[in-house]
Amino acid sequence: MAKINRIGVLTSGGDAPGMNAAIRAVTRAGINNNLEVFGIMRGYEGMIEGDIIPMNSETVSGIIQKGGTFLLTARSNRFREYEGRKEAYEQLKRFGINAVVVIGGDGSFTGANIMSSEFDIPFIGIPGTIDNDLFGTDYTIGFDTALNTVVDAVDKIRDTASSHNRIFFVEVMGREAGFVAINSGIACGAEIIMIPEEKNQIEKARRFLAERARKNKSSIILVAEGLEEGSTMEITEILKPEFPQFDMRVSILGHIQRGGSPSAKDRVIASRMGAAAVEALLDNQKCIMIGLVNDEIVQVPLNKTVKMHKAIDEALINLAEDIATFGPQK
């Protein structure tokens, strides 16, 4: 590979708290290693359009505590096609950028991996997604903040549930993975946690409700949005006629889980990963993701992290069952 002297950094896909901290770390670590750093606005769409700005230490001053991403993010249909990627490469050449750091999820990494193979330009991935579902890393940027947001919201919902003796079905993000649901559910003491990795979730809730009828207490049922058996609203409508004695409500937390000032943990992880991405480029690494395993920085091939499935720790699922109010619901 040619000597790297100018790098670009972008955020792509869904935003996550801590992305700004990662951008800051990439920028300052790059500058301190005599690299010129450019910010690519609006992800791959901005790369195609040449929406690229020079970065310096002052550019990233005062952003570490802010949620979202000041570089903005977008999903680009044009980048899915070869012609779009070719346009993006021409823009990188125009700015003299010869390496790119991508902060995002598996879709962003898939695009980076393809473009790198087509145009021989190094891409380094930094995992930024609240879902924490990327293979090769224990944590993704934004996951810890999202958990704390969910726990805070559910604590408030539990107050009103207790006051009215209601059952609340609380939906959290996790279309294909239940990492947010299982971890926040344990943290907030949810009576039932419903995740896409487990089957027969409606039956699980049905058995719980039948048992709860003898206890007459308010309850929190935490639901990941990606259940095969239906949406949270649909599941609630199925169960309401079966248990007319219960006052069931639904609360969908939605995009508040993406926002907010990043936690200290997310800021530190993002900073470590950002600096490690620059170090990897200086070591002539190409097409890898920076991960964190057992609190140590690791490097994972991009094609591996997008192809391999990250499973929820079975011990967490068992723990949720063991400490449930009414015992195992399997």
Catalytic residue positions, numbered: 131
CA distance 107 to 113: 10
Measuring CA to CA, which residue among 215, 201, 192 is closest to residue 321? 192
Query: Helix, strand, coil % (nearest 5) of the chain?
Result: 45, 20, 40
* Interacting residues of 196 by C-beta distance below 8 A, sequence separation 6+: 174, 175, 176, 177, 178, 224, 226, 227, 228
Which pair of structure tokens corresponds to residue 146? Answer: 């999202």
Give residue 47's Cα distance to chain centre.
Answer: 22
Kindly give the interhelix angle for 143-164 and 179-188, rounded to the nearest 10 degrees. 50
Q: What is 43-57 written as a DSSP string? A: HHHHHHHT-EEEE-T
Three-state helix/strand/coil letters over 126-186: EEECCCCCCCCCCCCECHHHHHHHHHHHHHHHHHHHHHHCCEEEEEECCCCCCHHHHHHHH
Strand order in the sheet with 248-252: 192-194, 219-224, 167-172, 248-252
Q: How far apart are CA 195 and CA 180, in angstroms?
A: 9
